Amino acid sequence: MKILILGAGQVGASLAEHLSSEANDLTVVDIDRERLALLQDRFDLRTLVGDASTPGVLEAAGAADADLLVAVTRSDPANLVACKLAHSRFNVPRRVARLRNADFFADPSLFAPEHFAVSEALCPEQEVTDTIVRLVEFPRALQVLEFGGGRLTLVGVRAYEGGLLVGHPIREMRRHLPEDIDARIAALYRRDRPVPPTGETRIEVGDEVFFIAPSEHLPAVLRELRREEQPVRRVVVAGAGNIGARVAGALQRRCRVTVVEANRLRAEDVAAQLDDAMVLCGGASDEDVLDQANIGESDLFLALTNDDEDNILAASLAKRLGCRRVLALINRRVYADMVQGGPIDIALSPAEVSAGAFLAHVRQGDVVQVHRLRRGAAEALELVVHGDARTSKVVGRRIADLDLPAGASVAALVRAMDVPRVLEHSEADVETRYGEVIMAHHDTVIEAGDHVILFCTRKELVPKVVRLFQVAVGFL
């Protein structure tokens, strides 16, 4: 597939890294010659220096015969203009745009062909915000990911000394759960290496374990398999930029939120936007400022500034001053690998979170969700099955009979996604959800229309998995 990536920033570079390894013809356009040179040295791709929102540059980049354009520059207007030109002048079939301003999403008609002609619009800052909010709901989770329209949730946790499963084979998990609750371990990492999660695999202290379960059962599963956790009630947010302000706004009604922002004007603006949060003006790596924020009594510290070093320093200091758990946004992978698991509990890469959202719209086949795991080393994806036994390599076949590459596994599936199912938690708590959740077993048979959730321990496996689930050319 011939793909144009407009913008060589963090998101564009992350996309280029992952798409260049999947036999795509890539061209990256940016005004920064040095950024492009770095990408060209590392990956098999073409680069072009220029303004991606101009017709001449798009033509020189090969827009006339491109299959997909991904506009991820830091400028919303430039991304919108590029999509419009790609549609009206070069007839590019699919156009994905990064948009940071929430106003554009208030009126979806702006993305119609007669206006900006955006096939898919994504907001990376909102993707990161949603990820952080899910982590607040599960205090000890390393990652929390949803699939099947929210019907399934995958949670990564660290095995701790004295845990119910530590020292025991995975097959014993079943006896710790109530009869009406099903869950499975989708993946296991030990000392940064994947371990096949068979029934005989024994979990060790420090293992990174990924559970998947129906979303409504997940709290019960975690209660059974982990020690009881106190809910997050006090949160300190360092940095009131786009992500920090969004996170504070999302959490202010459920937690006591304090925002720390060094820029006085920005602090005043955010204070006016937030109804139920306190805003302090000062540096998050200043011990006196953190004392004012009652960091020693806080459950969670979120370092969300635009500077990796500031985030690492502030989060480490917050942990030393008594904060129960700390998270830092860190863009440089070498930093994230170095600090997570030490004083910093979670090192979250905004570029990796955003790249997952874009990859779902970039990859061939009916890919609904792509979630990056372990800072991009692994992926969990949701695919929709099409075809029949004649045109598909998976329809009508048992999971045990699928030709999956080593390191790839089916974790679960959701069937009949358009059929409502009523869940009665109590007489007063009735919920309607769509689709039937089926936890994967070796004899589970895949049907057309199923949403299949797969786990790939290495990102290199993803193209093979996607090809396996594609229908034959003759399928209509």
Question: How crowded is residue 401: how many other Cβ atoms within 10 Å of its Cβ?
Answer: 14
Q: What is the pLDDT of residues 153-196, one digit of tens each?
A: 999 888 887 777 788 888 888 887 888 888 888 888 888 888 88
Q: Looking at residues 92-110, what average pLDDT do you find?
A: 92
Which DSSP category does 165 fall into?
A: T
Q: What is the pLDDT of residues 247-281, one digit of tens each?
A: 999 999 999 999 999 999 999 999 999 999 999 99
Which DSSP category does 468 fall into?
A: H
Q: Are strands 234-238 and 300-303 parallel, antiparallel or unpaired?
A: parallel
Q: Looking at residues 65-91, what average pLDDT do you find?
A: 96
Under 8 Å CB-to-CB from 122, ≥6 apart: which residues?
96, 97, 98, 99, 354, 357, 358, 361
Q: Which of 110-119, 220-229, 345-354 has the highest mean pLDDT?
A: 110-119
Return the higher-pLDDT residue of 249 and 19.
249
Question: How crowded is residue 45: how many other Cβ atoms within 10 Å of its Cβ?
Answer: 19
Return the higher-pLDDT residue of 367 and 291.
291
Contact 183, 153 (CB under 8 A): no
Q: Looking at residues 427-446, what average pLDDT do you find?
A: 84
Provide the pLDDT for residue 265. Answer: 96
Q: What is the pLDDT of residues 349-368, one digit of tens each?
A: 888 888 777 887 776 668 88
Provide the pLDDT for residue 227. Answer: 62
Q: Looking at residues 386-393, what average pLDDT do you find?
A: 91
Q: What is the pLDDT of residues 125-134, one digit of tens each?
A: 898 999 999 9
Res. 289 pLDDT band, cuts 50 70 90: very high
Q: Looking at residues 30-46, what average pLDDT do you find?
A: 94
pLDDT above 80 (res 428): no
The number of CA neighbours under 13 Å toward the Cβ of 168 is: 16
Which domains are assigned to the chain?
A: 2-122 (3.40.50.720), 234-352 (3.40.50.720), 354-469 (3.30.70.1450)
Return the higher-pLDDT residue of 322 and 472.
322
Q: Are strands 430-439 and 408-424 parallel, antiparallel or unpaired?
A: antiparallel
Contact 257, 251 (CB under 8 A): yes
Provide the pLDDT for residue 434. Answer: 81
pLDDT above 90 (res 64): yes
Q: What is the pLDDT of residues 197-221, one digit of tens each?
A: 888 999 998 898 898 999 888 887 8
